[in-house]
Amino acid sequence: MIAYRGKRSALALNQIWGLKMKVSITVNGTEHHGDVEPRTLLVHYIREVIGLTGTNVGCDTSSCGACTIHMNGEAVKSCTILAVQADGASVTTIEGLARDGVMHPMQTAFMENHGLQCGYCTPGMVMAAVGLLNENPKPTEEEVRMGLEGNLCRCTGYHNIVKSVLAAASAK
Amino acid sequence: MTITENKPTNIIGTRLLRREDPPLLTGEAKFTNDLSIPGALHLSVLRSPYAHAKIKSINVSAALKIAGVVAVYTGKDLQTAWAAPMPCAWPVTPDMKNPPHFPLAIDKVNYVGDGVAAVLATNETASRDALDAIDVEYEPLQAVVDLEDALSDKNVIHKDLGTNKSYTWPLLVEETPGCVEEAFKKAKYKIKERYVQQRLIPMAMEPRAIAAVPQPFGGDITLYSSTQIPHILKVMTALTLGIPEQQVRVVAPSVGGGFGSKLDVYAEELLCMALARKHSAPVRWVEERTENTQATIQGRGQIQHVELAADENGKITAVRVRIIGDMGAYLQLVTPGVPLLGAFLYAGVYDIPKAYDFSCTSVFTNLTPTDAYRGAGRPEATYAIEMAIEALAREMKIDSFELRKRNYIKKEQFPYTAFSGLTYDSGDHLLAAEKAATMTDLAGVRAQQKKQNVPGATKLLGVGMSSYFEMCGLAPSRVLASLNYSAGGWEAATVRVLPTNKVQVITGTSPHGQGHETSWAMIASEKLGVAPEDVDVLHSDTAISALGLDTYGSRSLPVGGVAIALACDKVIEKAKLIAAHQLECAAEDLQFVGGTFSVKGSPDRALPLAAIAFGAFTAHNLPEGCEPNLEAQVSYDPPNFSWPFGTHMCVVEVDTETGAVKILKYIAVDDCGNQINPLIVEGQVHGGVVQGIAQALFEEAVYDSDGNLKSSNLSEYLVPAASDVPAITTGHTITPSPTNQLGVKGVGEAGTIGAAPTVMTAIIDALSSLGVTSMAMPASPQTVWKTIQEATRGGKK
Which part of chain B is CATH 3.30.365.10?
A: 21-28+490-636, 408-473+640-796
Q: Which CATH architecture has domain A7-96?
A: Roll (3.10)
Residue A99 contacts B where some CB pair is shorter than 8 Å: no
Fold of B408-473+640-796: Aldehyde Oxidoreductase; domain 4 (3.30.365)
Show the beta-strand stretches assigned E in B397-488: 416-417, 423-424, 459-469
Residue B246 burial (C-beta neighbours within 10 Å; 0-12, 13-18, 19+): exposed
DSSP reduced 3-state for B293: helix
- pLDDT, mean over chain A: 92
pLDDT at A13 over 60: no
Mean pLDDT, 10 residues at a time, over chain B (797 residues)?
Answer: 44 98 98 97 98 98 98 97 98 97 98 98 96 98 97 97 98 98 98 98 98 88 98 98 96 98 98 97 98 98 98 98 98 97 96 98 98 97 98 98 98 96 96 98 98 97 97 94 95 98 98 98 97 98 97 97 98 98 96 96 94 97 97 97 97 98 98 98 98 98 98 97 98 96 96 97 97 98 98 69
Strands ordered across the beta sheet of B729-732: B459-469, B645-655, B661-671, B729-732
pLDDT at residue B737, rounded to an integer: 96
CB pair distance less than 8 Å for A162 and B288: no
For residues A110-130, give the mean pLDDT.
98
Q: Which of A112, A154, A157 sits opposite B205 (nearest CB)?
A: A154
Q: State the Cα–Cα distance between residues B545 and B337, nearest whole angstrom.
A: 27
pLDDT at residue B8, rounded to an integer: 41
Q: Which of B23, B290, B687 sits opposite A157 (nearest CB)?
A: B687
Residue B723 contacts A where some CB pair is shorter than 8 Å: yes
- Cα B184 to Cα B17, B330, B363, B381, distances in angstroms: 53, 37, 28, 20
pLDDT at residue A17, rounded to an integer: 60
CB pair distance less than 8 Å for B713 and A154: no
Q: Which of A54, A60, A158 sits opposite B722 (nearest CB)?
A: A158
DSSP letter assigned to residue B259: T
Q: Which of A59, A114, A154 sits opposite B713 (nearest CB)?
A: A59
Residue A34 burial (C-beta neighbours within 10 Å; 0-12, 13-18, 19+): middle
- Cα B170 to Cα A82, B14, B92, B299, B375, distances in angstroms: 57, 45, 11, 22, 21
pLDDT at residue B218, rounded to an integer: 76
pLDDT at residue B323, rounded to an integer: 98
Q: The CATH number of A105-171 is which of 3.40.50.300, 3.40.50.1980, 1.10.150.120, 3.40.50.11810?
A: 1.10.150.120
CB pair distance less than 8 Å for B515 and A18: no
- Measured between alpha carbons, how far apart are the two ends of chain A, in Å? 46
ipTM confidence: 0.97
- Cβ-Cβ pairs closer than 8 A, A with B, add up to 197
Residue A61 contacts B where some CB pair is shorter than 8 Å: yes
Give the number of other Cβ atoms within 10 Å of residue B142's Cβ: 14
Best interface-test mutation with A: which of B17, B26, B124 has the largest number of A CBs within 10 A? B26
Element (H, E) at B325: strand B316-328
DSSP letter assigned to residue B5: P
Residue ranges covered by each domain of chain A: 7-96, 105-171
Strands ordered across the beta sheet of B189-200: B165-174, B355-364, B316-328, B299-310, B189-200
- Where does A42-121 have alpha helices with state H? 42-44, 105-112
Instruction: Return the sign of the alpha-carbon dihedral for residues B211, B215, B216, B222.
Output: negative
**Interhelix angle B267-279/B230-241, nearest 10 degrees:** 60
CB pair distance less than 8 Å for A155 and B687: yes
**Closest to B386 (Cα-Cα) out of B100, B169, B692:** B692
- The answer to whether residues B235 and B542 touch, using CB atoms and an 8 Å cutoff, is no
Q: State the Cα–Cα distance between residues B225 and B433, nearest whole angstrom.
A: 42
pLDDT at residue B708, rounded to an integer: 98
pLDDT at A3 over 70: no
pLDDT at A4 over 60: no
Strands ordered across the beta sheet of A21-27: A30-36, A21-27, A90-92, A68-71, A74-77
Cα dihedral: B410, B414, B417, B423 (round 10)? 130
pLDDT at residue A8, rounded to an integer: 41
Nearest CA in chain A to B715: A63
Residue B67 contacts A where some CB pair is shorter than 8 Å: yes
Q: Which backbone phi and psi does B287 adopt, to 5 degrees?
A: -85, 140
Confidence class for position A15, pLDDT limits 50, 70, 90: low
pLDDT at residue B750, rounded to an integer: 93
Q: Which CATH architecture has domain B21-28+490-636?
A: 2-Layer Sandwich (3.30)
Query: Model's pTM, two decimal places?
Result: 0.96
**CA-based nearest distance B60→chain A, Å:** 12
Q: What pLDDT, in 10s, does the model give residues A62-88?
A: 999 999 999 999 999 999 999 999 999
